[in-house]
Amino acid sequence: MEHDPAQAASAAEWAGWALDDQQLASLATFADWLIDEAIPAGGLGPNEAERVWVRHVADSLTFATGWTTQPTEVLDVGTGVGLPGIPLAILWPDSRVMLLDRGGRRTRLLERVVRILDLPNVIVTRRDVDDVSGQFDGVVFRGSVPAKRTPEVARRLLAPGGTSVVGLSRRSEPPQSADQIINDAGALGLDASLASVPDYVLDGPAWLLVMRRQSP
């Protein structure tokens, strides 16, 4: 496929990060894998090939907006074919990124692409999020859990001072449920806010929910 590294660079820059040439090359390899293997395996829809780079790779990089330094431990809940976790692992080589999914076929696909990309900072785990314990500096959700449930899951899995980012919507306005989700997060001791991704960063508007667990 024809790659446009500027799309990924723009998304990372909007989130406050920069990509070097090696990272851009790794992202291009990942985009090729999504088309060559993930789509035929059913990991993405059959019509996604033409927009893999902007709709999936660059979109994943916008999730980095929640951090100004590389988090130590990141959990990608319901990662599917590694979105947003693999682009974040490429962006953050010093972070340990756990790709969590309960599907055996998907986790086998993930193990293969992690080998292809040579990502020693990634671990693939087959498990339901309700069975995960421990605390993480970062937790990301890209459509894997109902948005209204993410505050409860984030509160349980975030370490004090940790941050969670949730993909909420690709529409011009945030979902009507956003205010209630923010209120629910606040009731759990999470500082929550919306982040609006401008049209020029992706192929249209997007909304993210950023939740931070307060430090003691």
Q: Kindly report the CA angle at 101 between 179 and 95, in degrees rounded to 5?
A: 80
State the burial class of residue 33 (Cβ atoms within 10 Å of its Cβ: 0-12, 13-18, 19+). Answer: buried
pLDDT of residue 2: 58
% of residues, the chain, pLDDT over 70: 99
pLDDT of residue 52: 94
Sheet with 158-169, edge to edge strand ranges: 122-126, 96-101, 73-77, 136-141, 158-169, 206-213, 190-197
Burial 194-206 (b: 16+ CB within 10 A, else e): ebebeeebbeebb
pLDDT of residue 3: 67
pTM, to two decimals: 0.96
* 101-143: pLDDT as tens digits: 999 999 999 999 999 999 999 999 999 999 999 999 999 999 8
Domains in the chain: ranges and CATH: 5-213 (3.40.50.150)
% of residues, the chain, pLDDT over 90: 93
Confidence of residue 97 (pLDDT cuts 50, 70, 90): very high
Average pLDDT of the chain to the nearest whole number: 96
Rounded to an integer, the average pLDDT of 140-168 is 96
For the ranges 16-20, 106-110, 127-131, 212-216, the lowest mean pLDDT is seen at: 212-216
Q: Residue 128: name the closest of 162, 170, 79, 175 by CA.
A: 79
Task: Say if residues 159 and 135 touch (Cβ distance below 8 Å).
Answer: yes
Q: Look at residue 216 and tell me whether its pLDDT is greater than 90.
A: no
Q: Name residues whose C-beta falls within 8 Å of residue 109's C-beta, 6 or more positions apart in sequence.
A: 37, 38, 41, 43, 81
